[in-house]
Amino acid sequence: MSADDLAAAGPFDEADRAAVYRAIATRRDIRSEFLPGPVDPAALARILGAAHQAPSVGFMQPWNFLLLHSLETRARVHAAFARANAEAADLFDGESQALYRQLKLEGILKAPLNICVTCDRERGGTVLGRTHNREMDLYSTVCAVQNLWLAARAKGIGVGWVSIYHEPDLREILKIPPAVAIVAYLCVGHVERQHAGPELAAKGWRQRLPLEELVFEERWGQRP
Q: What CATH number should be reported for the domain holding residue 74?
A: 3.40.109.10
User: Is 210 a domain residue?
Assistant: no
Which pLDDT value is given to residue 2? 65
User: Is 186 a domain residue?
Assistant: yes
Which pLDDT value is given to residue 180? 98
CA distance 186 to 115: 5
Which pLDDT value is given to residue 99? 79
HEC letters along 149-208: HHHHHHCCEEEEEECCCCHHHHHHHHCCCCCEEEEEEEEEEEECCCCCCCHHHHCCCCCC
User: Is 127 a domain residue?
Assistant: yes
Predicted structure pTM score = 0.93
Which pLDDT value is given to residue 3? 63
User: Is 82 a domain residue?
Assistant: yes
Which pLDDT value is given to residue 1? 58
Mean pLDDT split into 10-residue runs, the chain, 224 residues: 79 96 95 93 97 95 98 97 90 84 84 98 88 93 98 96 97 97 98 86 88 96 94
User: How many domains, the chain?
Assistant: 1
User: Is 176 a domain residue?
Assistant: yes
CA 175 to chain centre: 21
Domain span holding position 133: 28-205
Per-residue model confidence as pLDDT tens digits over 1-47? 566 788 888 999 999 999 999 999 999 999 989 999 999 999 999 99
User: Is 6 a domain residue?
Assistant: no
User: Is 67 a domain residue?
Assistant: yes
Which pLDDT value is given to residue 23? 96
Which pLDDT value is given to residue 136? 93
User: Is 190 a domain residue?
Assistant: yes
